């Protein structure tokens, strides 16, 4: 009976320990658990707050990328209607009869407002074209060349030629104006040269400018003289004349420039040029005596090595020649500089006369544009697109026109050439070229090829060509050799990691907490049970002693 009571008492004590210890342990560890789960001060999620589905985290909207600046350019590769060749191959407008057919294909690197541009022409002075309004609104069109679609603003117009035209090469400046989507103005000027060959020779123009012979000039005869307002018509209009009765009328003999060896040829700044000029006594009757010819330039940047010449006598209709050296300073501006020749002379009777003749000296500066900074990686992979940048500098003292860079080589196909347009002296241009990498046997981008790997891949060479023109239409080039190694296409393996099943960390923490709590309970209960056993053993020992 006593044993049962003691056993019941022990069970009650253990039950009380089990009931009370979890509360004490939970309170002792709650703060530590909360600190571990929410170190940043964030509340520990409850079962109600756990999302049942995926939620997209809230993020601030990324700033919009800055729009790339839009540029106008030219399609220098393709040949359009009424074009005999592309711009890259030196396009010149065609002439049929009295009409010039002009075609200019403009391109844009981005979207333009209303998908259109305005194009006009500027001929300058002394052009053989009929002056009129050639301005047009040109809309974007799509053209197909060998299964390749090209978006182009194609400007075409017919320019009538004047009937009395002079042979030569004449510049036509094509001006294009457009607007990007924000309304910012975009401009491009392109210079095209029109060559006229069915007109008059320039030397014929110079001869036509000579004065007619004196015998064609109207002369006042004595019989035709009338008394005007009571004055004798024998007096000159300026007064101070002599009576004409028995007096011979004398006309001033004139010296005319009839030829020069320049013939419109331009002279490079910093050079010397031997020139010969031919002058003629245009009078058929009067002799010129004591003739002094003095040459004087309109600017200090050009000069004559010999500036003065003397001739004792020049007979009627006789010609004289002046030979000298024309010196042009390296700093001379690229333009026409006047060169004047002044005449001081007398006739047979000693009457003094003066006169002047003038020519224009066309000075041009040497042009030099260079490209730099263009490099390709040592190794490239087939079927990839690579981008290479470069800089173009105008190192000369004169503008350059129609500046462009093109690439050619085995297995290298530029998506488009670089077109810098017109560049003033000292200006620079930064551009980039996107290149499609094929293989050595490929003739066109994307073409299917067959063959062994050693035939299709390996070292290749190419050529980078810079082309530009001066103000006189002369073309200049600079070449740069490029090398690289084309390797077979690089196959990229896309590894997709298996999506890990998300676990609820709150339940994991709770499970750990329960395990720790249960272990703590067992430890405490074990210690108390041992203590109770020891106490029970002492009680039994005392009872035994008492019974004994």
Mind listing the pLDDT tens digit for each residue in 218-253? 333 333 333 333 333 333 333 333 444 455 666 789
**Average pLDDT in the 389-395 region?**
94
Whether 521 is in a domain gets the answer no
Whether 219 is in a domain gets the answer no
What H or E segment, with its residue span, contains residue 508? Answer: helix 505-547
270 vs 547, residue with greater confidence:
270
Tokens read off for 519: 């272990």
Asked if 159 and 136 touch (Cβ cutoff 8 Å), the reply is no
**Average pLDDT in the 266-284 region?**
93
Residues 477 and 392 in one domain: yes
Helix, coil or strand: residue 334: coil
Q: Give the pLDDT confidence score for residue 133 in this predicted structure.
A: 84
The set of residues, in sequence order, having a beta carbon less than 8 Å from that of 305 and lying 6+ positions away, is: 324, 325, 326, 327
Asked if 326 and 299 touch (Cβ cutoff 8 Å), the reply is no
Tokens read off for 449: 């090829």
Whether 314 is in a domain gets the answer yes
Neighbours of 524 (CB within 10 A): 16
The set of residues, in sequence order, having a beta carbon less than 8 Å from that of 525 and lying 6+ positions away, is: 14, 17, 18, 21
What strands, in cross-sheet order, belong to the sheet with 288-297?
267-268, 352-364, 336-346, 288-297, 308-314
Helix, coil or strand: residue 486: strand
CA distance 524 to 17: 8
Residues 387 and 349 in one domain: no
Asked if 112 and 70 touch (Cβ cutoff 8 Å), the reply is yes
CA distance 463 to 440: 15
**Average pLDDT in the 168-182 region?**
89
Asked if 326 and 267 touch (Cβ cutoff 8 Å), the reply is yes
Q: Give the pLDDT confidence score for residue 68 in this predicted structure.
A: 64
Q: What is the 3-state secondary structure (H, E, C) of 291-310?
A: EEEEEEECCCCEEECCCEEE
What H or E segment, with its residue span, contains residue 5? Answer: helix 2-37
Residues 76 and 189 in one domain: yes
Burial class (CB in 10 A: 0-12, 13-18, 19+), 92: middle
Tokens read off for 327: 């010196």
What H or E segment, with its residue span, contains residue 536? Answer: helix 505-547
Q: Is the dihedral of CA 220, 226, 231, 232 positive or negative?
A: positive
What H or E segment, with its residue span, contains residue 539? Answer: helix 505-547
**Average pLDDT in the 95-110 region?**
91
Residues 146 and 170 in one domain: yes
pLDDT at residue 373 is higher than 70: yes
Q: How many CA atoms lie within 13 A of 481 on its CB side?
A: 3
What's the chain's average pLDDT? 78
Q: Which of 469, 487, 505 is the last residue of a domain?
A: 487
Q: Give the pLDDT confidence score for residue 537 in this predicted structure.
A: 76
Q: Give the pLDDT confidence score for residue 504 in this predicted structure.
A: 57
Pairing of β 475-487 and β 379-381: parallel
Residues 187 and 207 in one domain: no
CA nearest neighbour of 380 among 488, 286, 515, 278: 488
Largest CA distance in the chain: 197
Residues 385 and 314 in one domain: no
CA nearest neighbour of 517 among 188, 147, 30: 30
> What range defines the domain where residue 151 resides?
72-196
> Alpha helix locations (H) across 38-128?
none
Whether 247 is in a domain gets the answer no
> Alpha helix locations (H) across 38-178?
none
Residues 191 and 104 in one domain: yes
CA distance 339 to 324: 13
CATH code: domain of residue 109: 2.60.40
Tokens read off for 168: 């030569």
480 confidence band (pLDDT: 50, 70, 90): very high
58 vs 525, residue with greater confidence:
525
Residues 279 and 306 in one domain: yes
Distance of CA 62 to the CA centre of its chain: 31
Q: Which of 364, 381, 407 is the last residue of a domain?
A: 364
CA distance 403 to 423: 8
Domains contained in the chain, number: 3
Tokens read off for 545: 């002693």
Helix, coil or strand: residue 171: strand
pLDDT at residue 48 is higher than 80: no
Pairing of β 255-260 and β 272-281: antiparallel
Neighbours of 478 (CB within 10 A): 15
Q: Give the pLDDT confidence score for residue 227 in this predicted structure.
A: 39
Q: Any idea what DSSP says for residue 76?
A: -
Whether 508 is in a domain gets the answer no
492 confidence band (pLDDT: 50, 70, 90): low
Whether 178 is in a domain gets the answer yes
pLDDT at residue 406 is higher than 80: yes
pLDDT at residue 319 is higher than 80: yes
**Average pLDDT in the 520-545 region?**
76
Q: Give the pLDDT confidence score for residue 318 in this predicted structure.
A: 95
452 confidence band (pLDDT: 50, 70, 90): confident
Q: Which of 441, 458, 487 is the last residue of a domain?
A: 487
pLDDT at residue 267 is higher than 80: yes
Whether 63 is in a domain gets the answer no
Residues 84 and 177 in one domain: yes
Helix, coil or strand: residue 132: coil
């Amino acid at each position: 009976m006593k044993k049962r009571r003691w056993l019941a008492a022990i069970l009650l004590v253990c039950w009380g320990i089990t009931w009370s210890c979890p509360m004490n342990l939970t309170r002792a560890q709650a703060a530590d658990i909360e600190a571990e789960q929410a170190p940043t001060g964030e509340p520990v999620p409850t079962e109600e707050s756990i999302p049942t589905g995926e939620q997209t985290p809230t993020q601030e909207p990324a700033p919009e990328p800055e729009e790339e600046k839009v540029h106008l350019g030219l399609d220098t590769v393709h040949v359009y209607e009424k074009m005999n060749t592309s711009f890259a191959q030196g396009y010149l407008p065609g002439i049929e009869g009295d009409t010039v057919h002009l075609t200019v294909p403009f391109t844009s690197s981005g979207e333009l407002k209303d998908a259109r541009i305005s194009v006009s022409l500027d001929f300058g002075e002394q052009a053989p074209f009929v002056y009129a309004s050639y301005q047009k609104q040109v809309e974007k069109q799509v053209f197909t060349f060998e299964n390749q679609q090209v978006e182009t603003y194609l400007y075409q117009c017919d320019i009538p030629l004047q009937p009395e035209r002079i042979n030569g090469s004449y510049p036509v400046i094509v001006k294009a104006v457009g607007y990007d989507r924000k309304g910012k103005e975009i401009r491009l000027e392109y210079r095209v040269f029109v060559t006229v060959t069915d007109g008059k020779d320039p030397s014929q123009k110079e001869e036509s400018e000579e004065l007619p012979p004196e015998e064609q000039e109207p002369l006042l005869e004595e019989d035709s003289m009338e008394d005007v307002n009571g004055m004798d018509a024998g007096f000159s209009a300026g007064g101070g004349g002599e009576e004409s009765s028995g007096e011979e009328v004398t006309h001033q003999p004139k010296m005319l420039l009839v030829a020069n060896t320049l013939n419109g040829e331009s002279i490079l700044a910093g050079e010397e040029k031997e020139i010969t000029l031919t002058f003629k006594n245009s009078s058929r009757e009067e002799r010129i005596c004591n003739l002094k010819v003095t040459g004087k330039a309109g600017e200090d940047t050009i000069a004559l090595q010999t500036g003065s010449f003397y001739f004792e006598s020049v007979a009627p209709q006789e010609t004289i020649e002046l030979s000298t050296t024309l010196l042009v300073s390296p700093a001379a501006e690229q333009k026409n500089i006047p060169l004047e020749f002044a005449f001081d002379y007398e006739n047979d009777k000693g009457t003094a006369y003066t006169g002047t003749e003038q020519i224009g000296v066309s000075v041009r500066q040497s042009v030099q544009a260079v490209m730099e900074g263009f490099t390709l990686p040592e190794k490239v992979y087939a079927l990839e697109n690579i981008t290479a940048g470069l800089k173009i500098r105008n190192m000369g003292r004169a503008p350059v026109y129609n500046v462009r860079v093109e690439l050619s080589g085995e297995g290298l196909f530029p998506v488009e050439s670089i077109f810098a347009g017109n560049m003033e002296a000292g200006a620079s241009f930064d551009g980039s070229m996107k290149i499609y990498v094929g293989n050595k046997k490929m003739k066109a981008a994307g073409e299917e090829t067959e063959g062994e790997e050693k035939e299709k891949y390996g070292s290749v060479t190419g050529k980078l060509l810079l082309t530009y023109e001066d103000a006189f239409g002369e073309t200049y080039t600079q070449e740069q050799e490029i090398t690289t190694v084309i390797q077979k296409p690089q196959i990229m393996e896309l590894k997709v990691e298996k999506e890990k099943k998300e676990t609820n960390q709150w339940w994991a923490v709770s499970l750990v907490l329960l395990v720790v709590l249960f272990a703590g309970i067992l430890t405490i209960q074990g210690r108390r049970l041992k203590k109770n056993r020891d106490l029970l053993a002492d009680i039994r020992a005392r009872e035994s002693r008492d019974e004994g």
